[in-house]
Structure formats: structure tokens, C-alpha cells
Amino acid sequence: MTAQQIIFLFVALFTLISAVMVVTTRNLVHAALWLVSTLFGVAVVYALLNANFIAVVQVVVYIGAIAILFIFAVMLTRRDMRDTGPQMNKNWWAGALVAALTFAGLVSLLQEWSGFSKTASDFPSGFDAMGLLGEALVSPDAYVLPFEVASVLLLAALVGAVYVAFNPRSGDSQK
């Protein structure tokens, strides 16, 4: 076993344990913090795959924005910030079924793929993954359409959020 495999196994175990803790802990803020460590584990997996940009963006977006938003939402919507809830609701079996099916589907799909059991080769020297990614995102032959559609979707969400929060009676922020 190579050093990288050992590191991967540790990180994967850490991520999985954190993910299980997210759904089993009774304290909601603890669940959010375990979610942070799960997402961090995923970021480390990206870094192990040499995908530096995605790893850093994972930390910026998921930990810096989404997890903080979760924690805020939990803190601002509960009467008691140490609120605890039941671990499961009555749909737990459906969630478990979907997770198991997704896992089985991914494994069966990947086994068809020829690169499944190969070790990834290193990047050639001077390989600019960042530049290629940037060009692919704005090139008409590659991903410019999905990129723009995602931008429009985010813009619509932004406008929607402003509309929901805007109170037409007061007219502005003055209370």
C-alpha cells in the first residue's frame, strides 16, 4: 500500500464517521459542526486528487458560506440554542435506501470503467490545470452554456432573496 492510499483511507474514514455523526447527534449545532468536518474531509480528498482549485473552493463555499449559514439558521430559528431533537424521523428508511442505492449504482458504474483499477499518472511538468479549467468554462466548445445557465440561476436566486426580504411598505432600510 502506498503512502497516498493510507492517507486516503484515513481521510475517507474520518469523512464517513463525521457524516454518520451529522445524522446521529442530537444537538443541532453539533450536527452542523460535524457537517463542517465532513465537508473538510471531502476537500482533503479533492486535494489528494491534485484538484487544488476545487479543494480550496470547497472550503470557501461549503465551510465559509454554507456551513456558517446553517449554524446561523439553527441559532436564529430555535428558541433554545442547545435545542436537541430526535435522531430519526419516520422517513429514515427511505433515506437509507436512497443512500445504499446510490452507492451500489456508483460502484457498478465505476466497475464498467476501464480506469477504475489503474493508478492515476502524474501531471506532466508545466501542466496548468487552473488555466485549462478557466478556458474550458468560457470556451464555446466546452462548458460555456452550463456555466452561464448556472450564473443566471444564481442571479435569479439573488434577486428572489432580495425580493423576499424587501419590505415595500417601509421602502428602505429605515425602520
Partner 1 sequence: MNFWNDPLRVAAEWLEGIFAGWGMDAVAAHVLVVFLGVLLLIIVLMALDVFLVWVERKVVARFQDRLGPNRLGPFGLIQPFADIIKLIIKEDTTPGDADKVVYNLAPILSMMSVLILWAVVPLAPVMLGTDLNVGALFIIAAGAIGTLSIIMAGWASNNKFAMIGGFRQVAVMVSFEIPMLTMLMIPVIFSGSMNMNVIIQAQDPVPFWVLSPLGALIFLIAAIAELGRAPFDLAEGESELVSGFNIEYSGMKFGMFYAGELLHAFTFGGFWAILFFGGYRFFGLEQVSPFLAILILIFKAMLGYWVIMWVKYTMMRIRIDQMLAFNWKFLTPLAFALLLVTALVNALLASAPAWFYTLSMILANLFTGWIALEIARSATRSERERIEGVKKPVEAHH
- Which of 22, 28, 31, 36 touches partner 1 by CB under 8 A? 36
Q: Tell whether residue 128 is a contact of partner 1 (CB under 8 A).
A: yes
Which lies closer to partner 1 via its Cβ, residue 95 or residue 134? 134
- Which of 17, 21, 29, 48 touches partner 1 by CB under 8 A? 29
- Which of 13, 20, 81, 96 touches partner 1 by CB under 8 A? 81
Shortest distance in whole angstroms from residue 47 CB to partner 1: 10
Per-residue contact track with partner 1, 57 to 76, x per CB under 8 A?
x-xx--xxx-xx--xx--x-
Binding to partner 1 (CB under 8 A): which residues in 131-170? Answer: none
Shortest distance in whole angstroms from residue 153 CB to partner 1: 19
Shortest distance in whole angstroms from residue 134 CB to partner 1: 10
Distance CA 6, CA 13 (A): 11
* Cβ atoms of 40 and 17 closer than 8 Å: no
List contacts with partner 1 (CB under 8 A): 3, 29-30, 33, 36, 52-53, 56-57, 59-60, 63-65, 67-68, 71-72, 75, 81, 128-130, 173
